[in-house]
Structure 1
Amino acid sequence: MRSLRLLLIVTIVTLALAACGASGGNTGGNTTSNANSPVIIAWLPNESGSELKDARDAIGAVVSEVLGRPVEHRTTTDYLIAVEALVNNTAHLGFFGAEAYVQAHDKNNKVVPLVIPSGSDGRLETAVYYSWLAVVRGQEGNYQENGIYKIDNIQGKRFAFVSSSSTSGFRVPSANIIKYFSQQEKWKNLTADELIEGGPNKFFSEVQFGGSHQGAAVALLSGAVDVASFCDACVQNYVELVSGEENKPGAVYRVLNNASEPFDKFPGAEFVIISATPVINAPFVVNSGMLTADEIKRLQDKLTSDEVANNPRIFATKAEIDAGFKPLFRKTKDERFLVVDDAFFNPIRAMR
């Protein structure tokens, strides 16, 4: 069954990439750009929803202005399709989590970081979001000991990851689980591969992959799993904090009554965070074989400018959000884009 699923994914990716190649754009290793072809931006499933169209278009407008070329957004329903688009020279840019970036760079070293969103104080040191383990409200007591949240009882449960290419939805939580449980004799040789499939004598009784952070959260809310891993940033447009401290164990979040798909079927549903781990922010990445060094430098200069940092359609203000705008990034203080190099993501490599 697992081999059949893998074959199906490979087939889907192959067909998708063939379609990408047929739609135009530079197709491999070029150091000069075709001004008549679109710059293609690949988006992971988390950022591919219709509610984020205006936010994607705001990024696209900056890219188009700098390069003097039209922009085409390539939305996806599978992490692998987005990663392979950059790897196989059918997309110029992408917005990837750190793990997806590392996987892409491993396959094609011309895929490199472009910029990364900073922390609220404008620095790289605080450029993090959070990987959560969550349970539906009412079940949180099963994961406490003397009032302290612990993950001991996740073993044997039905569990949802996001994708094996997800940083906060797989790489970070799997590393944390292995580090914690490998102290026990029974699980001393536990590996990430062994967390992927559930069943008798496995670590989890059942394992699902949501395909996106939203999908993993919905698997939890629907009752399909007992525990799910997903990130704060990818669900912030759909939920609100109702008690506890943001991004801390014990925090309770509620689905907004007017939440868009796929949360529209769960208005008012609540879940509780039992574990929260800071994760390196997701970068925009570029295939340096498809854009020139000058084009990349001009993109970096523009994206890291005060103009972009103060663009409310890129770093959305509270007023924009209150007016109904669904952002990719939020302006709480001094957020902006910063330039990083490949080595910045070595902590993610170390988890592997």
Structure 2
Amino acid sequence: MKKAWILILSLCFALVIAGCSSGASGKDDGELTIAWLPNESGADMGEAREEIGKAIEEATGQKVKHQTTTDYIVAIEAIANGKADLAFLGAQGYIEANEKNKKVEPLVVSSGESGTLEDAIYHSWLTVKKGNEQEYEKGGEYTIDGIKGKRFSFVSNSSTSGFQVPSTEIGKHFSEKGEDLAPEDLMEGGEGKFFSEVLFGGSHQGSAVNLLTEKADAAAFCDTCVANYVELEEGKANEAGSVYKVKEGAAEPFQNLAGEQFTLFSVTPVLNAPIVINSENVDEEAKQKILDTLTSEETKNNEKIFVPEGSETSGLFEKASGKEQFVKVEDKWFNPIRELQKK
């Protein structure tokens, strides 16, 4: 009898230890957590987030929990350390998470109008408030020469289109003029620095607001992240010299900025952002089910995820041609962004 009690107590102790170990890993059986960057964490994106969550729930039979954030690093760390199972990150954010944990893998990106990876791009903008664009014009063309010495707003140093791409562009342009600039040289402003002041908006929306409220003289942010809040006023989409204005009734943080305008003075194509997965948390069977549902016709035709032109819905992706969809992507597709870090 004594031996039996000892055996029972030993088994109970083992179960307690196993339970503690499971909790420490950050995994939660029966539940999948998706981490979202600040750009996609706003209330106006809630319906689109929920639609993706519903699709994954139906495919896997697991409840989906959404982790919204106010900081790029929080989302990157969540997927890298296993607190999140999936995440929607920029290319740079994915690369940083993958460097921290090789089990973080890209799953899909949204395609271009062709429905393939060939034109799966968005655009990094350098912008100035309407009325100040003459400082960035020379000989009838736009140039970034006038940016030196200005108060400048980036998004986050973990943002692809809001820091990595524009900082590389600025560094390359001014290196041709004899200045040796690395991205880290552009992260702080002040006396003796390239910029007089450097701000980080925390999101693309935040960087745009820094510009429009005149906290910054010029700013970097991307087209897709502000598409729900602004509309083309003059020129052609994604061309230097074109003017955009904040829509009437625009959601937070643009709710008090309707009618405010800004001009593009530099536009650079950027690889689309991936949905990534932590394969240490998600087994191969569940991963395949998630991939299958995201790349399905049903998801492609979900107008709350891929929003048709002219729709009032605030979605994550625009549908211009009708062919836009999620496409499977491999790690090597992001090598051009890795190469930027070497320049």
Q: TM-score, normalised by structure 1?
A: 0.89
Counterpart check, 1:154 vs 2:147: yes
Of 84, 97, 116, the residue aligned with 1:123 is 116
Match of 1:290 among 264, 281, 286: 281
Give 1:326's aligned amino acid. Answer: S
For the Cα contact (< 8 Å) 1:97–1:166, is it kept in 2? Answer: yes
* Structure 2 unaligned regions, length at least 5: 1-21
Per-residue CA distance 1:255-290 (angstroms, 9 max, x = gap): 011101100111100000000000000000000100
**C-alpha distance in 2 between matches for 1:342 and 1:82:** 19
Structure 2 residue 314 is the aligned partner of structure 1 residue 326: yes
Task: Tell me the amino acid that sits aligned with residue 331 of structure 1.
Answer: K
Q: Does 1:214 align with 2:205?
A: yes
- Unaligned 5+ runs, structure 1: 1-24
Find the partner of 2:38 among 45, 48, 55: 45
Which string of whole-angstrom CA distances, capped at 9 and with x for unpartnered residues, describes residues 177-201 of structure 1? 111101122x1x2111110000111
> How far apart, in 1, do the equivalents of 2:117 and 2:25 lie?
32
Structure-1 separation of matches of 2:137 and 2:169: 17
- Paired amino acid for 1:223: E
Do residues 178 (structure 1) and 167 (structure 2) align?
Answer: no
2:220 match: secondary structure: strand
Equivalences for 1:4-23 in 2 at 5 Å?
Answer: none
Equivalent in the alignment of 1:193: 184
Q: Which amino acid aligns with 2:317?
A: F
Change over 3 Å in CA distance of 1:27–1:109 after alignment to 2: farther
CA–CA distance in structure 2, aligned partners of residues 27 and 267 of structure 1: 47
2:57 corresponds to 1:64: yes
Equivalent position SS for 2:255: helix
Superposed CA deviations along residues 286-327 of structure 1, whole A, max 9, x for unmatched, are: 0010000111111111111111111111111236x2xx3110
1:22 match? none
Tell me which amino acid in the other structure corresponds to 2:182: T
In 2 relative to 1, CA 248–52 (structure 1 residues): closer, same or farther, beyond 3 Å?
Answer: same
Residue 102 of structure 2 corresponds to residue 114 of structure 1:
no
Runs of 4+, deviation exceeding 3 Å: 25-30
In structure 2, the CA distance between the partners of 1:291 and 1:335, relative to structure 1 (3 Å rule), is same
- Given that residues 117 and 338 in structure 1 are in contact (C-alpha distance below 8 angstroms), is that contact kept between their aligned partners in structure 2? yes
Paired residues of 1:86 and 1:93 also in contact (CA < 8 A) = yes
Q: CA deviation at 1:332?
A: 1.2
Aligned to 1:339: 328
Residue 178 of structure 1 aligns with an amino acid whose one-letter code is G
RMSD: 1.3
Aligned to 1:71, the other structure's residue is in SS state strand
Which residue type is aligned with residue 245 of structure 2? R
What's the CA shift for 1:29? 9.3
CA distance 1:29–1:256, change in 2 (3 Å):
closer
Identify the residue that residue 259 of structure 2 maps to in structure 1.
Answer: 268
Q: 1:235 — aligned with what?
A: 226
Q: Does 1:348 align with 2:343?
A: no
> Quick one: distance in 2 between partners of 1:134 and 1:170?
13
Counterpart contact for 2:26–2:83, Cα < 8 Å: no
Cα distance in 2 for partners of 1:240, 1:172 equals 23
For 2:26 and 2:336, the matched residues in 1 are separated by: 29
Aligned residues: 319
User: What secondary structure, in the 3-state scheme, does the structure 2 residue paired with 1:264 have?
Assistant: coil
For the structure 1 residues 46 and 29, does the alpha-carbon distance in structure 2 shift closer, same or farther, using more than 3 Å as the test? closer
Q: How high is the sequence identity, in percent, across the aligned residues?
A: 49
Match of 2:242 among 225, 237, 251: 251
Report the Cα offset of residue 28 of structure 1: 3.9
Secondary structure, counterpart of 1:142 in structure 2: helix
For residue 27 of structure 1, report the CA deviation from its aligned partner: 5.9
Q: TM-score, normalised by structure 2?
A: 0.91
Alpha-carbon distance in 1 for matches of 2:131, 2:309: 32
Letter in 2 for 1:34: D
Q: What is the CA deviation profile of residues 6-45 of structure 1, one whole-angstrom value per residue up to 9, with x for unaligned ones?
A: xxxxxxxxxxxxxxxxxxx976497xx822xx21000000
Report the Cα offset of residue 212 of structure 1.
0.2
CA distance in 1, matches of 2:142, 2:188: 25
SS where residue 263 of structure 1 aligns?
coil
